[in-house]
Structure 1
Amino acid sequence: MENFESVVRAEFGPKNTFLNTASSGLLPARTVAALSEAARVRAEGRPLTSLHTDVEESRAAFARLAGVPVTRVAAGPSVAAHTALIAASLPAGAEVLTAEDDFASVVNPFHVRGDLKVRAVPLERLAESVRPGTALVAVSAAQSADGRIADLGAVREAARTHGARTCVDWSQAAGWLPLAADDFDYTVSICFKWLLGPHGAAFLVVPEDFGGLTPLLAGWVAGERPWDSCYGPVTELAHSARRFDVSPALFSYAGLRHSLALVEELGVDAVHAHDLALADRFRAGLASLGREPLPAPGSAIVSVPGLGRLQPELSRAGIEVSDRAGNLRASFHLYNTTADVDRLLDVLSG
């Protein structure tokens, strides 16, 4: 733990009490330096070879975190872009099962198809609601609004029983909650929250057989030999999940490569223990104030009903949290300390 703390201190120096990783994570110092270097590469007219290498190194790092071969990982700009590919692969009339009030990027691509049967149920009833004829279950591993963690094991088993595929969004979990993408058909995640990267990079994990997806967004980077695929139709799509790539925002991956390296260096298990200890400290402090957060056991995200209105006041006091549907949402990550938790509790008690 001492090494954990020393590494974190060297990478982060927030000027406020930042408890808002569920909105966007802080950038490590190594990532800021890499972004500056990427800008110099462009400004000085140097070849972009190193920036394209950063995309592949980021893809490989995410594959390691997800526990899958790199050949199953596609790179793109957002979760919505990835879930739209999955939505497009379904036949008309297919049933998609979702959790009520899940994040829009997870569910909206299925709704806008217009010819799918999208059924939403309470998160705690998701597994029991899979039925014969359900084609896909799509859900966030951790809910954005309140941090509740889906019973992914139960969802996986129910889906297998009824022949349904699964799509899990790890945007609010990857980086602090151990990820085993091989347990699901499709895994999606952005990287600017708990994975500490810049905006503009996201990953999609697909099955070995590509899960019936068509690379509708394929450009030259989707070719087996990208630089030979710049003109006219791509004659040979990548033999790997790279066929689903969208032309990368190179600066984002130049920074992300180093953010993912930091997460790997610290270890998700250690980050998980650190984050949950702080979240539980906050929950205990709330109890002493006579406040009860929304139930989200085992989550690094804590939402307190009725206190969202305090967000502007807290921000003026140098404490960054979110207002979500009237709830005060605090989220705890590796750069946070017990002093951060206690400061928020002190202000709330005041």
Structure 2
Amino acid sequence: MELLPRGEYAPSLSYLNTASHGLLPARAAARLRAALAETQEGRLDPRANAAALEAVRAGYAELAEISPERVALGSGVAVHAALIAAALPPGSEVLCPEDEYTSLVTPFARRPGIRLREVPLAELAGAVDGATALVAFSAVQSLDGRTADLPAVRAAARRYGARTLLDTSQALGWLPMSAGDFDFTVCAGYKWLLCPRGTSFLTVPEDGGGLVPLHAGLTAADASRSGPYGPVAELAPGARRFDESPALLPYLAAVESLGLVAELGRPAIRAHDMALADRFRAGLARLGLAAVPGDSPIVSVPGAAGAEARLAAAGVRVAARGGGLRAAFHVYNTEADVDRALDALGDARQPSDGLASRSA
């Protein structure tokens, strides 16, 4: 059974690197090309553009299972995290996993007066204590695909009165979750949500969570009470006051990308992605290769980063991360892609690849 509508994707290689960047669906690429032409020819419609931004906000809210009034738009996870870091009182402790993605944790590490404490992912829930102001962590680790124990971390944070910041960049679209279960969430749209780079999302509590709209511009204003000149007289209600000025062209394409994700549905996407990842894990075991234990479409083989170039030569795009070989399976991938990668790994068993010594 085909998961995708016919003609939506036609990759020129076996692309197993969604954890780095997803592929644009045909409908999003077409909208982007049309927007470029409109920009070149002077036909951009500001009212239509504003409506598109709100369509993206609503589409994301539906996927994240939260109200649109709690969603802010931006261009990158680090900017959202910096807004949260700026709101923390001096002396606050932020707890995070070791090897967490840089964009999530660096704003806290660079904020004067904030103490960043790192612990192994498996120990995260147990490490929350009375000194913890915020727990910042990813639902799924970019490095190797390990998943966090979301209920345990959430419960521990509530027990001690700490807030939670969940990065859903490697999870939303395939993993069952609700942004409303956490105080703040951030998400880069260009991975599993298939949007162009330059799209990102922040969700906040109904009361704003104590955030200050430090980068408020015209898009964060209440249009009925503020004009385009002078300081904003009245900020928009809800999370829109925390909007960055969105990169217009990526957001026009994002309308189409999020529409496709919603059309396919999270249960079908999860079943498809996990079936391919399970097939890959089983094939790795037959080759005598041990993957990082996990339950996600991201599969990492420790010590095998050297095989990345050999797979690329065979037409298979993966990534090398932390000395491991990382493959990530999504909607445009097939069983043929899995088997092509396994065949290439079987042919690449040389000491320089970090594979030969692991072979049975």
Letter in 2 for 1:27: L
Other-structure match for 2:267: 269
Letter in 2 for 1:19: L
Q: Which stretches in structure 2 are left out of the alignment for 5+ residues?
A: 348-360
Q: Is 1:45 equivalent to 2:42 in the alignment?
A: yes
Cα contact 2:225–2:233 (8 A) shared by 1: no
Counterpart-to-counterpart distance in 1, 2:122 and 2:113: 27
Other-structure match for 1:306: 303
Other-structure match for 2:81: 83
Counterpart-to-counterpart distance in 2, 1:198 and 1:226: 30
Counterpart-to-counterpart distance in 1, 2:264 and 2:50: 25
- Give the root-mean-square deviation of aligned CA atoms: 1.1
Instruction: Give the aligned length.
Output: 346
Task: Kindly state the Cα deviation for residue 239 of structure 1 after the two structures are TM-superposed.
Answer: 0.9
More moved, 309-318 vs 192-201: 309-318
Q: Secondary structure at the match of 1:198?
A: coil
Other-structure match for 1:63: 61
Task: Summarize the Cα distance change of 1:231–1:138 in structure 2 as closer, same or farther, 3 Å threshold.
Answer: same
Task: Kindly state the Cα deviation for residue 120 of structure 1 after the two structures are TM-superposed.
Answer: 0.5
Q: Is 1:17 equivalent to 2:9 in the alignment?
A: no
Q: TM-score, normalised by structure 2?
A: 0.94
Task: Kindly state the Cα deviation for residue 313 of structure 1 after the two structures are TM-superposed.
Answer: 2.1
Residue pairs, 1:182-193, within 5 angstroms: 182-193=180-191
Letter in 2 for 1:250: L
Counterpart-to-counterpart distance in 2, 1:228 and 1:209: 22
Residue pairs, 1:331-346, within 5 angstroms: 331-346=328-343
Letter in 1 for 2:22: G
Other-structure match for 2:356: none
Counterpart-to-counterpart distance in 2, 1:56 and 1:91: 32
Residue pairs, 1:84-233, within 5 angstroms: 84-225=82-223, 228-233=226-231
Task: Kindly state the Cα deviation for residue 227 of structure 1 after the two structures are TM-superposed.
Answer: 8.8
Counterpart-to-counterpart distance in 2, 1:317 and 1:34: 32
Other-structure match for 2:286: 288
Letter in 2 for 1:323: A
Counterpart-to-counterpart distance in 1, 2:3 and 2:209: 41
Counterpart-to-counterpart distance in 2, 1:126 and 1:335: 34
Cα contact 1:12–1:335 (8 A) shared by 2: yes
More moved, 44-53 vs 280-289: 44-53
Task: Kindly state the Cα deviation for residue 179 of structure 1 after the two structures are TM-superposed.
Answer: 2.6
Letter in 2 for 1:232: G
Cα contact 1:300–1:331 (8 A) shared by 2: yes
Counterpart-to-counterpart distance in 2, 1:317 and 1:228: 57
Cα contact 2:221–2:235 (8 A) shared by 1: yes
Counterpart-to-counterpart distance in 1, 2:7 and 2:162: 46
Which deviations, in whole Å up to 9, do the C-alpha atoms of 1:139-165 show, x marking residues without a partner? 011000000000011000000000000
Task: Kindly state the Cα deviation for residue 50 of structure 1 after the two structures are TM-superposed.
Answer: 2.0
Q: Secondary structure at the match of 2:143?
A: coil
Counterpart-to-counterpart distance in 2, 1:43 and 1:229: 27
Counterpart-to-counterpart distance in 2, 1:230 and 1:126: 46
Q: Secondary structure at the match of 1:280?
A: helix
Q: Which stretches in structure 1 are left out of the alignment for 5+ residues?
A: none
Q: Secondary structure at the match of 1:10?
A: coil
Letter in 2 for 1:222: A
Cα contact 2:71–2:239 (8 A) shared by 1: yes
Which deviations, in whole Å up to 9, do the C-alpha atoms of 1:4-47 show, x marking residues without a partner? 5351x421000001100001011100001100111122112123
Counterpart-to-counterpart distance in 2, 1:13 and 1:53: 30
Cα contact 2:4–2:264 (8 A) shared by 1: no
